[in-house]
Amino acid sequence: MLAARQPWRVVNVAIMRSKNCRSSCRRLPLLLLLLLPALRVTVSYECIAQSVEPSETIRVDSDLVDLKVGVVSLNSQTRVSSLELKDFLVLEDGQPQQISFFAAADAPFDLVLLLDLSGSIADKLKLVRRSAKSFVDATRPLDRVAIVTFTDVPHLVSGFTWDRKELKNSIDKIEKPVGGTNFWDSLDYVLETVLSPGSNSRRSAVVVMTDGVDNALPEVFGEGSRITFDELLDVVRRSESIVFPIYLDTEREEVKRHRTPSSAYPIARDQLTRLAETCGTTLYKASQLRDLDSVYDQVIKDLSTVYSLGYRPTNTSRDGKWRNVTVQLVDHQDVIAHTKRGYFSKSYRRQ
């Protein structure tokens, strides 16, 4: 017997407030609240397209495939111009898909800055604080920011806020930590708790600064994360949030101090690369903490070229199999699009 679907799961809504539908969209949430207890309905609206007021994004759709698409110019000296829905072509297993949700690149994000404070980084808190403030300064005014640090456990320094002064005050209160490195558990905590799935309609991303060495890696001292890397990769793959990993090179210093075997670093870099590839992002690199200011600035610039697309697959089979996804730009030879490589379709669950 198929599991009963709850009424609110049947409502498929993809709405962007625009100048042409501002008043009707404003009344929609109240209308839905009145109808939901009595009806199972499927609602379709034309207010799906672009908006210059991206902070009001509402999506209630369990069947919508959500894509975060980065657009990069092939010429580093050329700025990427604004694109529209008609400029994108989505293919699933080679088959064109109809885009039913679109959010422009200027739509705001909920950003989590996740900072690794383990090992030798703990001795350089002054630089960490300064670079974290640079990240806050680089973010866009409409983006909300939260800050999490971690060693063997994650610590919420600041919840989501637009108040940059409050964020910087919280950064000043970061204290020298103790403990090992449970990187995988900490990223899982951010994705599953701080960015709780389904709890927010805003776009979300995690910018994580780390050397990637979890104590669970072979020959690394310490217990390490409870979640495995493959399990974390599955969480990332299924998440609607995107991850921007920044590799901070601590290898020479850590190996010299006999804290970490050199064999751990190639594995850590490979895993960070796989995280980036899963999200369709890039592995950024900082040779030292002083490089983070420019790296954070580049991350925010790249984030400003991320579009959100959604579609309902023409392949409606719920078999749990992998679906390959590619995004192409129509009549734009000077730019390329990158996104996650695909997703696992949902499967029926029997009671």
20 plus 100 within the same structural domain:
no
What does the block give as tokens for 82?
A: 């604004």
Strand partners, 99: 311
Q: Per mean pLDDT, which of 59-68, 192-201, 306-315 is the most reliable?
A: 306-315
Residue 6 pLDDT greater than 80, yes or no:
no
235 plus 145 within the same structural domain:
yes
126 plus 45 within the same structural domain:
no
Burial readout 94-112 (b: 16 or more C-beta within 10 A, e: otherwise):
eeebebbbbbbbbbbbbbb
CATH number at residue 84: 2.60.40
53 plus 170 within the same structural domain:
no
Residue 267 pLDDT greater than 50, yes or no:
yes
Residue that the structure tokens 């040779």 belong to: 287
262 plus 180 within the same structural domain:
yes
Residue 47 pLDDT greater than 70, yes or no:
no
Pairing of strands 109-116, 203-210: parallel
- Would you say 304 and 288 are in contact if contact means Cβ atoms under 8 Å apart? no
Helix (H) or strand (E) holding 209: strand 203-210
Residue 105 pLDDT greater than 70, yes or no:
yes
CA distance 210 to 245: 8
Closest among 143, 241, 247 to 190, alpha carbons compared: 241
- Would you say 158 and 169 are in contact if contact means Cβ atoms under 8 Å apart? no
More confident residue, 58 or 191: 191
136 plus 272 within the same structural domain:
yes
270 plus 313 within the same structural domain:
no
Q: What is the pLDDT of residue 334?
A: 83
What does the block give as tokens for 167?
A: 């964020």
**Is this structure's pTM higher than 0.85?**
no
226 plus 181 within the same structural domain:
yes
Query: Residue 4: CA atoms inside 13 Å, Cβ hemisphere, count?
Result: 3
Q: What is the mean pLDDT of residues 265-281?
A: 94
Boundary residue ending a domain (268, 288, 303): 303
175 plus 205 within the same structural domain:
yes
144 plus 279 within the same structural domain:
yes
Query: 3-state class of 230 per DSSP?
Result: helix
Residues contacting residue 295 through CB under 8 Å, at least 6 positions apart:
246, 284, 285, 286
Q: Residues for the chain: how many in total? A: 351
Q: What is the pLDDT of residue 249?
A: 93
CA angle 208, 210, 212 (to 5 degrees): 110
Q: What is the pLDDT of residue 42?
A: 33
Q: What is the pLDDT of residue 348?
A: 63
More confident residue, 197 or 342: 342
Tens-digit pLDDT profile for residues 227-236 = 999 999 999 9
- Alpha carbon of 45 to those of 13, 33, 38, 48, 289: distances in Å? 7, 17, 20, 7, 48
Q: What is the pLDDT of residue 259?
A: 78
What's the gap between Cα 171 and its chain centre?
22
- Alpha carbon of 152 to those of 110, 160, 226: distances in Å? 25, 23, 11
Q: What is the pLDDT of residue 49?
A: 32
Q: pLDDT band at residue 63, thresholds of 50, 70 and 90?
A: confident
Domain residues for the domain of 97 are 63-106+305-351
Q: What is the pLDDT of residue 12?
A: 33
CA distance 336 to 339: 10
Q: What is the mean pLDDT of residues 191-203?
A: 81
- Number of domains comprising the chain: 3
Neighbours of 252 (CB within 10 A): 12
289 plus 144 within the same structural domain:
yes
- Percentage of the chain exceeding pLDDT 90: 55
- Percentage of the chain exceeding pLDDT 70: 79
Rounded to the nearest integer, the mean pLDDT of the chain is: 81
Q: What is the mean pLDDT of residues 294-304?
A: 92
CATH number at residue 213: 3.40.50.410
123 plus 138 within the same structural domain:
yes
